[in-house]
Amino acid sequence: MQDLMYRFSIKTKTPYSFLLCNHVSTISSYKDEVSGFIKKQDLWKLNNELLKYGYSFKDKNIKLITTREYWANWDKYK
């Protein structure tokens, strides 16, 4: 069974103001957004890293969706 994966995107004033590569399988930055893919079991690690920089999954500037949803509606999220 494959691990459930999520895609996250974070609106930030300074792209790559934090580096989450230890927990994220893919990370990219474009203009004011940092995005990547992460396994479900590592979401708490991502949240802990975000908290250090004043971000949280509760913020409106952070989007988190399953990869299934992302690929099914790719045009909506690009």
Residue (of 14, 64, 69, 13) closest to 43 by Cα position: 64
8-66 pLDDT, tens digit per residue, is 888 877 655 555 556 676 677 777 788 888 889 988 888 888 888 788 888 778 888 99
Cut 0.85: pTM above it? no
Q: Is 78 helix (H, G, I), strand (E, B) or coil?
A: coil
